[in-house]
Structure 1
Amino acid sequence: MHIKKVVLTTILLVFIITLSIGQQTDSISKKSFWKKSIVPASLLGVGVLLNNSKFEKKLHKDVMSFVGNDFKTSVDDYILFAPIVQMYTADLLGVKSKNHWFDQSKYLFISNVISSGITNRLKVATAKIRPDGTPKAFPSGHTTIAFTNAAVLHQEFKDSSPILAYSGYAFATATGGLRMANNKHWVSDVLAAAGISILVTELVYLIKPLKNFNPFKKTKHLSFYPNYNKGSYGFYASYNF
């Protein structure tokens, strides 16, 4: 597919999602979002510009020359979920987070649905061929999931534990790098996926209505407590009339 069509398709899809979600935020949140969108927008932009370029083909050739044409690993199928493990482990250890575990799960789910939805649409629309000759290269699905998970981890712990918050991006970057080393993706596929994921997650964390939806959080009348009794775990619920 011609580069211009790739650019237009990418920008259009991201713009539609940005517009639909952005309408639900206040002016202060929007200003904050635009500042935070510089990095992911840049990643997306560079990814689009490098798409099908001579530079990315040469870079990929250099990568394969470095790791070897016989290089194969399945590590990238697993480390994309590392940020999720980090987040819930931190919750269990009592590390202070921005949101309740249910809200974390809610934002994680919604962010992945939207970012993966955009990625899958682009895969079909661009019909780009992977380095190994198979279809649907742009953007990288693995990288999309990895960076979405990392972005949620970052959102939750950036104020209380910066090292933990940013560590998720190390796993996400490794995922993207391994997708290239496995001869499954070009560099533009990885960069665009990273940009889309971070941008979408930033947007999801600005949705006002969802912030009040949490059936497990203590309210004025309904409360949930963890309960342990004779080797069994569960929840104790109480309602005050």
Structure 2
Amino acid sequence: MKISINLLLLVSLCVNITNAQFTELPPTKVQFKRSKQTERKKSKRNLFTKRVIPFTLIASGILLSTSDFEKSLQSDIRGYAGDNFYLNIDDYTRYAPILQMYAADIFGVKSRNHWFDQTKNLLISSVVTSAATTILKQEVDKERPGDPTKLNSFPSGHTSMAFVSAAVLYEEFIDSSPLLAYSGYIFAITTGSLRMMNNKHYLSDVLVGAGIGILTTRLVYHYEHLISWNPFKSDDDIAFAPQFTGDSVGLYFSKSF
């Protein structure tokens, strides 16, 4: 199996198109309350410290990939879940932290950033993560556990996007609401676990996907001062809400003049 030595570089530099879409018709006319933003606290942890967890996840995934241990583990998981087990809620749990974030904004929970900056950071993190994941899938050509004809197992795209969502929620609310901030990781871990139970990915695929998602998001937030543009920061007449239509995920917003 080919593992690119530029793995971490791809995580932070590559750009791709995310699957968010904008639609004209709103699902509901919801207007955000002007939530107070928390003052940015200077963390005692530097960027290197914040990278420890994602680097550990990525390194562990690389070491475990194609090992006898992960193949045995996958066999045990399927034996426990059953050969016919399949639950597609992992298609939705990866987006749950995003809904949590916007719901918290609607109810006025203090956040680190304005909703536009939240969305901007989410989209950039998603784009870069999607690019890194797609490139690695094509370069590595690892067989999926449930279908050896599909050579796109490494890393898990569902898991990487789930951890992007969870990491954005964490960054926005860790100072004001730690319980809310950490809760997104429950959905992310659930997504990764279901990818294995559904026989779609091995453990290494999930670990590397999680590491890429967290690392990318933390880098985006670390350098967010470089992309501080926000045309809506002083605007009250904004309606904004996430939208789901069939298999698509989008964002609806409008401005009153």
TM-score, L = length of structure 1: 0.83
Change (3 A) 1:186 1:226: same
Pairwise CA distance, 1:178: 0.3
| Partner residue, 2:201 | 185
Q: Alignment partner of 1:37: what SS?
A: helix
Matched letter for residue 108 of structure 1:
L
Find out whether 1:225 has 2:225 as its counterpart: no
Q: CA deviation at 1:13?
A: 3.3
- Give the structure 2 partner of residue 221 of structure 1: none
Q: Output the amino acid matched with 1:105.
A: T
Aligned residues of 2:170 and 2:182 also touching (Cα < 8 A): yes
Shift of 1:73: 1.0
Identity over the aligned pairs, expressed in percent? 49
Query: Which structure 2 segments of 5+ residues have no match?
Result: 15-41, 240-252
3-state SS, counterpart of residue 94 of structure 2? helix
Name 2:116's counterpart in structure 1. Answer: 102
Match of 2:92 in 1: 78
Q: CA RMSD in A?
A: 2.1
Selected match of 1:68 from 74, 82, 87: 82
Consecutive aligned runs of 4 or more in structure 1 exceeding 6 Å deviation: none
Paired with 2:254 and 2:78, the residues of 1 have a C-alpha distance of: 51
Q: What's the CA shift for 1:32?
A: 1.4
Distance 2:13 2:230 in 1: 25
Looking at structure 1, the residues matched to 89 and 238 of structure 2 have their Cα atoms a distance apart, in angstroms, of: 37
- Structure 1: unaligned runs, 5 residues or longer: 21-27, 219-223
- Mapped to 1, the partners of 2:193 and 2:165 lie a distance apart of 16
Structure 1 residue aligned with 2:140: 126
Amino acid at match of 2:164: T
Number of aligned positions between the proteins = 213
Of 7, 12, 15 in structure 1, the residue corresponding to residue 6 of structure 2 is: 12
Q: Deviations over 1:98-136 (max 9, x none)?
A: 000000000000000001110110000000000012220
User: Distance between the aligned counterparts of 1:184 and 1:227, measured in 2?
Assistant: 41
- CA deviations over 1:176-234 (Å, ceiling 9, x no partner): 000000000000000000001100100001222212x000012xxxxx22279xxxx96
The residue aligned with 2:185 is: 169
Residues 137-156 of structure 1 aligned to structure 2 (within 5 Å): 137-156=153-172
Structure with greater proportional helix content: 1
Aligned to 1:42, which of 56, 70, 91?
56
Partners of 1:179 and 1:13 lie apart in 2 by 22
Q: Are residues 19 and 79 of structure 1, via their aligned partners in 2, closer, same or farther at CA, if it must alter by over 3 Å?
A: closer
2:68 is matched with which residue?
Answer: 54
CA contact (8 A) 1:225 1:236 kept: no
**1:194 pairs with one of 181, 198, 210:** 210
Letter in 1 for 2:51: S
Separation (CA, whole Å) in 1 of partners of 2:193 and 2:108: 32
Residues 227, 203 of structure 1: alpha-carbon distance in 2 compared, 3 angstrom cutoff: closer
The residue aligned with 1:210 is 227
Which structure has the bigger radius of gyration?
1
Residue number in structure 1 paired with 2:17: none
Distance, in Å, in 2 between the alignment partners of 1:55 and 1:151 is 29
Q: Secondary structure at the match of 1:78?
A: helix
Asked if the contact 1:47–1:192 (Cα under 8 Å) also holds between the matched residues in 2, the reply is yes
Structure 1 counterpart of 2:94, which letter? Answer: L
